[in-house]
Amino acid sequence: MASVACIGECMVELRQAQGGQSAGQSSGQGGGLYSRGFGGDTLNTAVYLARLEVKVDYFTALGDDALSEEMVAAWAAEGVGTRRVVRLPGKLPGLYMIQLDAKGERQFFHWRDSAAARRLMDIPETEEILNSLMSYDIIYLSAITLSIYDPAGRERLFAAIKRARLLGTRFVFDTNFRARGWPDRDVAREVFDAAFATADIVLTSTEDLIALYPGESHDQLMARIPAPELVFRLAEPVSLLRFPGGTSEIRAEPMTKPVVDTTAAGDSFAAAYIAARLAGSDPVEAAQASHRLASLVICYPGAIIPGYAMPPKKRHRPATSRQATK
């Protein structure tokens, strides 16, 4: 069975609850009740891959605390492999809080500087973890993943990916760009260039790239990416594809339900694309499947939709080797 290694970070999420405040707290930004959950872009993708019947392992570091244990149990329950999760005694996962203002707009606050996941490229287990990448058909990570490691850690990761590619593993890079994770945009651009030069498939969007390369046209942005296979999502529900032998424009089907929450739209898009390519679909078919799943996900609150809401399974051409995505 084709397999995927997803590398990244999952954090504890505190989300402002709808409704009243706790005793002694005022309304608005001053306080309120919060619900606790977990969140992470590549983790969301891993969950959707598992639901699409792709064998997937999640690569990260967690602590030995109760919250970390809860995370691992939840991932395993979704079918995500946890054998590559390193547990670091005394460490904790990162945390972020989502606060709503008086107009309902979201604001994010992060506490992650000492999170366990940031140590993954600098621990005794790192070499074994990186060498294991050669056993997977696809390595998937995002720009958020790269932002949590220091330059030496990123260098070690890229070197391991290049070794794995020599044996037929494919590297899929998602440009999920969050400015707060980078010291400045010059550093981010340098890392993006390295990822673009290494990747076999790049999943990107105007939202991500315009933030790094303001004022450039779609053609100019796409020309920056030498990867043989490129999926470029526009502001409207349209994707531009470039792949060996052709280009294409894929437009999402019109929405029939109201949009409730756009969280994980890109994460589910990535999962559907990877799953379809591994199953033997061509890039056009894969992009169509991606738009279908993302359009479904945004009709439900939260990053992970209920299992019963997943689309019916579609039979693809059988393809289990590393050549399936070529």
The confidence score (pLDDT) of residue 234 equals: 94
Tell me: pLDDT of 310 over 60: yes
| pLDDT tens for each residue of 191-239 | 999 999 999 999 999 999 999 999 999 999 999 999 999 999 998 889 9
Which pLDDT score, from 0 to 100, does residue 322 have? 56
Residue 135 · residue 51 · CB < 8 Å: no
The residue among 30 and 303 whose pLDDT is bigger is 303
* Mean pLDDT, rounded, of the chain: 88
Quickly tell me which residue has 């050549």 as its tokens. 323
Residue-wise pLDDT for 83-119, tens only, equals 999 999 999 998 988 765 554 456 677 788 789 999 9
| 21 pLDDT higher than 70 | no
Q: Quick one: pLDDT band at residue 152, thresholds 50, 70, 90? A: very high
* Cut 0.75: pTM above it: yes
- Which one has a higher pLDDT value, 32 or 59? 59
pLDDT at 319 (0 to 100): 46
User: In the structure encoding, which two tokens stand for residue 52, read together?
Assistant: 């699409």
List, by residue number, the catalytic residues.
267
Confidence at 306, pLDDT banded by 50, 70, 90: confident
Whole-number Å distance between alpha carbons of 97 and 123: 28
User: Could you tell me the pLDDT band of residue 314, with boundaries at 50, 70 and 90?
Assistant: low
Residues 175-182, mean pLDDT to the nearest whole number? 93
Instruction: Enter the DSSP assignment of 148.
Output: T
The model's confidence at residue 135, banded by pLDDT at 50, 70 and 90, is very high
Place 18 in a pLDDT band, splitting at 50, 70 and 90: low
Q: Which domains does the chain have, with CATH numbers?
A: 3-10+41-94+117-325 (3.40.1190.20)
Write out pLDDT tens, residues 248-270. Answer: 999 988 877 888 877 788 999 99
Report d(CA 235, CA 77) in Å as an integer: 34
pLDDT tens-digit profile of 22-45? 333 433 444 567 888 888 999 999
pLDDT tens across 70-87, in order? 999 999 999 999 999 999
What φ, ψ does residue 142 adopt, rounded to 5°?
Answer: -120, 175
CB contact at 8 A, 263 and 302:
yes
Of all helices (H) and strands (E), which one includes residue 322? Answer: none
Q: Are 278 and 319 in contact (CB under 8 A)?
A: yes
pLDDT band at residue 165, thresholds of 50, 70 and 90? very high
